[in-house]
Amino acid sequence: MLKKERIKNRKGRGFCPGSDFQHWNAVLASKYPEILLRNKNDRIAFPKPQAFAVLRVCTGFNRMTDLTNILLLDAGNTSVKWKLGSAGELHRCEAINIADLELWMREHISEIKSLALSSVQGKEWNATLQSICSELGMPLWVAQSELENSGLTCGYHEPVNLGVDRWLAMLALWQRQKSGFLLVDMGSAITLDAVDDKGRHLGGYILPGLEMQRRALMATSESIGILLAGEADFRFGLGLDTSEAIDRGIFISVEAMVEKVLNNTGLSQDQLVIIGGDARWFIENTEINNQNIDLVIQGLAICYSQKLEAGELT
Q: Is the pLDDT at 121 greater than 70, yes or no?
A: yes
Q: Are residues 137 and 206 in the same domain?
A: no
pLDDT computed for residue 92 by the predictor:
93
- Across residues 162-174, what is the average pLDDT? 97
Which is more confidently placed, 227 or 43? 227
In a domain, residue 21? The reply is: no
Total count of domains within the chain: 2
pLDDT of residue 9 exceeding 80, the answer is: no
The answer to whether residues 154 and 86 belong to one domain is no
Burial letters for 7-42: b for 16+ Cβ neighbours within 10 Å, e otherwise? eeeeeeebbbbbeeeeebbebbeebeeebebeeeee
- β-pair partners for 294: none
Is residue 259, in this structure, part of any structural domain at all? yes
Please report which confidence band the pLDDT of residue 207 belongs to, taking 50, 70 and 90 as the band edges. Answer: very high
User: Domain limits at 98?
Assistant: 70-142
Q: Which residue has the higher pLDDT, 138 or 65?
A: 138
- Domain match, 264 and 208 both: yes
Mean pLDDT value of segment 184-197: 95
Q: Is residue 222 domain-shared with residue 273, that is, in the same domain?
A: yes
Of the pLDDT bands very low, low, confident and very high (cuts 50, 70, 90), residue 233 is confident
Considering only residues 7 and 249, tell me which one the structure prediction assigns the higher pLDDT.
249
Which pLDDT value is given to residue 181? 96
Average pLDDT over residues 91-109: 95
Would 261 be classed as within a structural domain?
Answer: yes
d(CA 55, CA 266) in angstroms, rounded, equals 29
- Residue 54, domain member (yes or no): no
Q: State yes or no: pLDDT of 163 exceeds 90.
A: yes
Same domain, 278 and 159: yes
pLDDT at 47: 44
Q: Same domain, yes or no, for 292 and 204?
A: yes
What residues act catalytically?
Answer: 165
CB 176 within 8 A of CB 31: no
Checking if the pLDDT of 266 tops 70, the result is yes
- Other C-beta atoms closer than 10 Å to the C-beta of 183 total 24
pLDDT tens digits along 14-41? 333 343 444 545 554 544 444 444 443 3
Dist. CA 6–CA 39, nearest whole Å: 12
**Percentage of residues of the chain with pLDDT beyond 90:** 57
Q: Are residues 277 and 207 in the same domain?
A: yes
For residue 157, is pLDDT > 70?
yes
185 phi and psi angles, rounded to 5 deg: -110, 115
Query: Distance between CA atoms of 245 and 204, rounded to whole angstroms?
Result: 28
DSSP H helical ranges for the chain: 21-31, 50-59, 98-107, 123-136, 164-177, 210-218, 222-227, 242-265, 279-285, 295-309
Of 43-57, 151-165, 182-196, where does mean pLDDT reach its minimum? 43-57
Whether residues 132 and 265 share a domain: the answer is no
Domain harbouring 241, CATH code:
3.30.420.40
Do both 174 and 223 map to the same domain?
yes
Task: Report how far residue 81's alpha carbon sits from residue 90's, in angstroms, rounded to the nearest whole number.
Answer: 7
Residue 52 lies in a domain: no
What's the rounded Cα separation, in Å, for the pair 298 and 175?
Answer: 10
Residue 135 lies in a domain: yes
The lowest-confidence range among 59-68, 144-153, 264-273 is 59-68
DSSP bridge partners of 275? 185
Average pLDDT, rounded, for the chain: 81
What number of other Cβ atoms are within 10 A of residue 133's Cβ? 19
| Residue of 28, 40, 38 lying closest to 2 (CA atoms) | 28
Selected residue with higher pLDDT from 260 and 9: 260
What pLDDT was estimated at residue 39? 42
In this structure, are 138 and 154 located in the same domain? no
Q: Tell me the pLDDT band of 289, cut-offs 50, 70 and 90.
A: low
Measure the CA–CA gap between 136 and 178, rounded to whole angstroms.
39
Tell me, yes or no, whether 114 and 175 share the same domain.
Answer: no
- Separation CA 105–CA 41 (nearest Å): 34
Fill in the amino acid letter for 194: A
The arithmetic mean of pLDDT across residues 5-10, rounded, is 33
Residues 293 and 154 in one domain: yes
Give the model's confidence band at 42: pLDDT under 50 very low, under 70 low, under 90 confident, else very high. very low
